[in-house]
Structure 1
């Protein structure tokens, strides 16, 4: 009973402390003995979804008259006279009831644009509260939205001439593409959707050669008439009944008819279909050159190929990459989408830093296209100093310490806009923040040394057989073919030395969704070969004696297989402040070699799958970010997953209360109980992690911003291979609650605009390896360290990182 009472008192104290940290509002510089605007809020009524009501509230909050705005700021102050974090209202405006009617007009106009034409505003009588010499006015805007207008029917009435409307080409095109209309029967009517439909039609015509047509040439005519009122009734009572029924239907289920029409063209050339006549490229334009002036220069050289002309001076480029990224051809109808896609794709080539275009009419029905390209610096060298990184693969530079990259880039190899990238990476991992083992002496400061050299060719197109080339690939954006070769050497002091040589051939491209803002990026490696040689040292041999199953992960072998991953990013259609990130990936090794029955004893055989989801909600000044990750590697043919393909958690970007690679496996404590070793790294076949982080600003000084965050990390890594000597390290669904680790913490973000430094402090709220209280930390016994087996283990971690964790 006393224990429960103590627990209750501790939690009550914690709640009171939180209330003190962020509590009441403070008013400064207010008008004395005069009513001032202290608070304003909106109450919406009507049959709309919860999300729609929330969206409308957020948007309507922008339509308060300035004199009715209560603008609060967050203030941090270390004082016992006020909470540490307070909401402060400075210089509130004097309340004036005449400003309410102006706010109603603003809000009603916005609701009209969203299709709420029958919204009703209740009398907004302010509420006054007197606090000492403050007269606080709270204005509540009560709005009954009524029914949203829906679209009943859609028609197109587009004429080439007033004499032959039946032969209208525009009318035929609009009807043929009516299935893609944004005006669907039964959908809400808004001014924005009408505007978007006019944009769609204008683009449809401009993509079909009608170069001079614009959105302003069309308009929408709205018919709000109820057909019941058109029925003639000689009986006045019947007529009155019809009017009453029409009015009732108008409020209960209002529907409008939409007809898209065109203004009468004063310029007959708007109805002319234009075709491509000639294409000119200027690939050596200087950043200071003006395109119109360059066109007048006579001393430039020319290369002509069919109906294409490349105008140059030094001959730095050949024409092929220009043609390959131009989607308009001779004698084709002009297409605005293809024109801008050409500019966009040429601009994504590393060989040029800027691309502009110009369309010039030629004759009565033709167009000449001009592309002006400013070259980027052909060769560059860079040296980067990095902090800790955590990507889930120890062979690509996940070092808790310092890593330096020396990079050489050539952006125009062989004059074909091919980019080559050569990178030398040196990294060290220091024995800082490691759990100290009293039984081990002479632990070196330098824990890991790594050196790697890589070379990549980036071809600005998809080099694929013609037989599989299709419209799907031709319409993709940012197409690249990558050929990579890399070698690395990792020396984990006293434990192992790992050598690797890898090569791959792969493709990357992206696709933009037409009906949404979603972008899908795909990376596919049909050929991925990795050769590994690992030498075990005495420290690792000692671990093998205590855990024989560990030996299977540290053995020589090779990887021969393929990999594919896809990333999809998009914003919520109804709320652009919500962004989503989805990543799916799969990697396999050994399938092809097994089918061909070659090198079967030297190739690792496995399938590795991953999934990740991120969600970001942006508020006025703050952000809420969440992330979920799951990954699993499944060995085939009775093998084990090699350590360089396994997962680990901990470090600055995942499970921040744990040092790098020091979480797991499951609730096993085997690693902690092994004596005579400081090797505490854990790798698993499966990883599960969830993170949530609330980010908020502290202050801004010029271009420098200091912000903070509160975060919670939850997850662990497990083995998927049965291990009778250590069953707690193997994933089991019934033990998931016990195995999950939970860390909480806060941190500082030093944002210098061009880069961001991050310092996070995490505490182990729940540690599966903790042998009491089911792994939970006790509020009355919070300790920084604890004895575990033969080691002293930290219950916290301080992480330094570059950039946001996710």
Structure 2
């Protein structure tokens, strides 16, 4: 077998060996500047003993590791090939004893009060080094659980308020007697009181009184049978220890902490700085809010709608924090401070809002790049230059206005020639208005009052020109109006309407391709879109696992299509398109797993007036695969549709592949490799599975149209490995992938279609260069 056509099985095993060598790099450790003739801490192990699930055991081990005294930690620095241990600490039993104390405090905070912690050490000489391996054996014992919970507030109003909200309690019978959950319950009670007028009440006013033994068990009994029952009960308590908890209100010396406060005056200083304290002031009152500013930098009318503290209302901490967060999120001010000023001897609190403006204008420029490369077909290098200006106080109303210009090219290269394949120039202008701009109907006012999140009104305009060498020139103009609703972990954006017009000029090569492949006539079209677009994002999870859900829906022409005129009949697209994406990032101590699934479908309605537009979505709305952020074993737009076998160049070729349906699943295992010059370099092993298809039978051949029974046959599979250089503000990513199964090869490689590991080395590999991670995480 020639060297240019290595066995794919040999390639696969070499790939696994290379990946294994990366893992082994960490096992080689060099020790420098160690204590001479003294045992030093080389490695510390923690062994958790007990019947725990793997997940709980790992949580305990991670928490116990954080309790290690500094003198018990051997900190290694990862280099490109080896790990370096500098200045390892001398082993000291006093430090080990202190660590045991820290671990015991940690276990107590989780509800473990019957722990047993011991440690041992083993010295393994290596040359003149006395490497000491320290092992902590931790047996947490039985966790103490809550048997009963009671609340004693002493004040009748507080007691009644607390009793009315016991369904929101964060602790219940059977929960672990743990410090974190009890502290959280104390904070909940405090927040409840502060949201109901008790401005000066704090969590320090509440404490927990607890016991772990029923006093009645200690009472003397003469009846031997009763005494036997007592012994039995004590045995059960040892096997399943419990605690009784009472949340109590401390005796208060300041009676004002039990007063209910009401909102008084609200004063805003919109451009508060040291330089303006003694300058000329302009004062104005709008809807009970007093605005004092120096000059006329801001319109006074914008402030009342962003302040949720209304004169005469009962004080509510939630509304105070909502006001604080609102001004912080606007981006117009760099410092936001709200002082709460209770009136002496009164149940009224005034608020003084001091706002220090951020710099009004900011300029940004950046360079981006990506590479798709194949030794057979050449490479495609993408370079983009972006320049933008942001106005943080557009129209003196705290609106954010962004204007961006971008120029990008894709350079194609092979052994014969080098030229620009694609170039694009685009201009975008967006205005974000931090208010809900809508005609003042009754239900609108009620909605704005009840909605507890942030609302923005959005205006966007985009214009772009794309020249695809020898194929087409596409000019697109897009404008839209919409709203953004954000609350806690979800974000909803609605654009109504979204107006878009695309004008396509066919070049000679595309005209010839359409003559040879008439189905392309239904894809490469221009036209008009009048749509409604909705985007929804939901985030969740914890420190160990992050989750993201994204859903997008776009509908065009459903109502607009009822208007009959020659322009709409010829140009209007009438379609619906929806897709959903789910991603999960699972974190381990040093590594992580990123999972992602995507599914999308678009349907062009049969009642679209122009017959040429009925079979497919327009190509600029279709899905495509390949490239650094999708199926990485394929070049950009070089996969699918379905099990197509056609050339990418020459007669009867289809250079770019699109589809109305896309399914894709990605999995990536990430791990640290080295940290040269303090820059983290991480490795990755990944697999990508998916494809694109046409939806309608009239759009293409049987092999190109999505059919559930053909899914196993049509799915493409790629595997690969990569490196990620984390520069903090962005990540440079190098990915190398191999086509494990290719359902849509070039006609010259038809013999490899749908065969596992069929490609020779120089035909089935693909190098990708990307910026940041390939999908959400």
Which category describes the TM-score, using the shorter chain as reference length? 0.7 to 0.9
Matched residue, 1:418: 399
2:236 equivalent among 223, 240, 249:
249
Aligned partners of 1:382, 1:582: CA distance in 2, in Å?
Answer: 30
Deviations 1:584-634 (A, max 9, x none): 222222333356778466432322222222333445555543333222223
Does the 8 Å CA contact 1:489/1:498 hold for their aligned counterparts?
yes
Deviations 1:515-566 (A, max 9, x none): xxxx111111232222222222221122223332222111233222212121
Q: Which has the higher contact order (CA 8 A, sep 6+)?
A: 2
Does the 8 Å CA contact 1:565/1:586 hold for their aligned counterparts?
yes
> CA separation of 1:534/1:177 partners in 2, compared to 1, >3 Å: closer, same or farther?
same
How many residues align? The count is: 741
Matched residue, 1:448: 422
Does the 8 Å CA contact 2:628/2:774 hold for their aligned counterparts?
no
1:368 equivalent among 331, 350, 362:
350
Matched residue, 1:615: 584
> CA separation of 1:137/1:374 partners in 2, compared to 1, >3 Å: closer, same or farther?
closer
> CA separation of 1:775/1:698 partners in 2, compared to 1, >3 Å: closer, same or farther?
farther
Query: What pairs up with 1:149-298 in 2 under 5 angstroms?
Result: 149-160=144-155, 168-226=156-214, 229=217, 233-235=221-223, 237-238=224-225, 240-286=227-273, 288=274, 294=277, 297=278
Offset at residue 183 of structure 1 (A): 1.2
Aligned partners of 1:761, 1:10: CA distance in 2, in Å?
Answer: 13
> CA separation of 1:239/1:795 partners in 2, compared to 1, >3 Å: closer, same or farther?
same
2:310 equivalent among 312, 322, 329:
329
Task: Find the residue that maps to 2:63 and give its secondary structure.
Answer: helix
Does the 8 Å CA contact 2:616/2:694 hold for their aligned counterparts?
no
1:461 equivalent among 421, 435, 456:
435
Aligned partners of 1:455, 1:91: CA distance in 2, in Å?
Answer: 55
Matched, 1:28 2:31: yes
> CA separation of 1:61/1:330 partners in 2, compared to 1, >3 Å: closer, same or farther?
same
Matched residue, 1:431: 412
Offset at residue 216 of structure 1 (A): 0.6
Aligned partners of 2:519, 2:41: CA distance in 1, in Å?
Answer: 70
Does the 8 Å CA contact 2:575/2:604 hold for their aligned counterparts?
yes
Matched, 1:119 2:115: yes
> CA separation of 1:560/1:146 partners in 2, compared to 1, >3 Å: closer, same or farther?
same
Aligned partners of 1:427, 1:16: CA distance in 2, in Å?
Answer: 39
Task: Find the residue that maps to 2:546 and give its secondary structure.
Answer: strand
Matched, 1:632 2:601: yes
Matched residue, 2:139: 144
Task: Find the residue that maps to 1:591 and give its secondary structure.
Answer: coil
Matched, 1:524 2:490: no
Does the 8 Å CA contact 1:322/1:346 hold for their aligned counterparts?
no
Offset at residue 239 of structure 1 (A): 5.0
> CA separation of 1:72/1:736 partners in 2, compared to 1, >3 Å: closer, same or farther?
farther
2:66 equivalent among 62, 65, 70:
62
Q: Which moved more, 1:361-370 or 1:761-770?
A: 761-770
Q: Which moved more, 1:64-73 or 1:211-220?
A: 64-73
Offset at residue 266 of structure 1 (A): 0.8
Matched, 1:483 2:447: no
Aligned partners of 1:379, 1:63: CA distance in 2, in Å?
Answer: 47
Offset at residue 373 of structure 1 (A): 1.2
> CA separation of 1:246/1:89 partners in 2, compared to 1, >3 Å: closer, same or farther?
farther
Does the 8 Å CA contact 2:625/2:639 hold for their aligned counterparts?
yes
1:496 equivalent among 447, 463, 472:
472
> CA separation of 1:99/1:362 partners in 2, compared to 1, >3 Å: closer, same or farther?
closer
> CA separation of 1:215/1:633 partners in 2, compared to 1, >3 Å: closer, same or farther?
same
Task: Find the residue that maps to 1:659 and give its secondary structure.
Answer: coil
> CA separation of 1:37/1:417 partners in 2, compared to 1, >3 Å: closer, same or farther?
closer
Aligned partners of 2:237, 2:340: CA distance in 1, in Å?
Answer: 49
Does the 8 Å CA contact 1:458/1:482 hold for their aligned counterparts?
yes
Offset at residue 15 of structure 1 (A): 5.9
Task: Find the residue that maps to 1:311 and give its secondary structure.
Answer: strand
Does the 8 Å CA contact 2:661/2:695 hold for their aligned counterparts?
yes
1:642 equivalent among 604, 611, 618:
618
Aligned partners of 2:473, 2:11: CA distance in 1, in Å?
Answer: 50
Matched, 1:783 2:761: yes
Matched residue, 1:300: 281
Deviations 1:238-280 (A, max 9, x none): 4542342232222332222221111111111111111111011
Task: Find the residue that maps to 1:209 and give its secondary structure.
Answer: coil
> CA separation of 1:389/1:684 partners in 2, compared to 1, >3 Å: closer, same or farther?
farther
Matched residue, 1:789: none
Aligned partners of 2:18, 2:289: CA distance in 1, in Å?
Answer: 74
Matched residue, 1:710: 684
Aligned partners of 1:337, 1:486: CA distance in 2, in Å?
Answer: 39
Q: Which moved more, 1:332-341 or 1:123-132?
A: 123-132
> CA separation of 1:635/1:656 partners in 2, compared to 1, >3 Å: closer, same or farther?
same
Matched residue, 2:547: 580
Aligned partners of 1:389, 1:13: CA distance in 2, in Å?
Answer: 24
Task: Find the residue that maps to 2:761 and give its secondary structure.
Answer: coil
TM-score by length of 1: 0.83
Does the 8 Å CA contact 1:229/1:242 hold for their aligned counterparts?
no
Matched residue, 1:396: none
Deviations 1:450-479 (A, max 9, x none): 233333332211224542554587434332
> CA separation of 1:378/1:138 partners in 2, compared to 1, >3 Å: closer, same or farther?
closer
Aligned partners of 1:27, 1:450: CA distance in 2, in Å?
Answer: 51
Query: What pairs up with 1:369-768 in 2 under 5 angstroms?
Result: 369-388=351-370, 401-432=382-413, 445-464=419-438, 465-468=441-444, 470=446, 474-512=450-488, 519-572=489-542, 576-593=543-560, 599=568, 602-619=571-588, 622-637=591-606, 639-672=615-648, 675-676=650-651, 680-687=655-662, 688-696=664-672, 698-699=674-675, 701=677, 705-714=679-688, 715-722=690-697, 726-738=701-713, 739-749=715-725, 751=727, 753-768=728-743
Aligned partners of 1:319, 1:700: CA distance in 2, in Å?
Answer: 54
Aligned partners of 1:356, 1:389: CA distance in 2, in Å?
Answer: 47
Task: Find the residue that maps to 1:143 and give its secondary structure.
Answer: strand
TM-score by length of 2: 0.86
Q: Which moved more, 1:247-256 or 1:313-322?
A: 247-256
Q: Which moved more, 1:23-32 or 1:562-571?
A: 23-32
Does the 8 Å CA contact 1:39/1:70 hold for their aligned counterparts?
yes
Aligned partners of 1:7, 1:755: CA distance in 2, in Å?
Answer: 35
**What value does the CA root-mean-square deviation take over the aligned residues?**
3.4
Does the 8 Å CA contact 1:146/1:251 hold for their aligned counterparts?
no
1:53 equivalent among 54, 57, 62:
57
> CA separation of 1:298/1:542 partners in 2, compared to 1, >3 Å: closer, same or farther?
closer
Does the 8 Å CA contact 1:653/1:801 hold for their aligned counterparts?
no
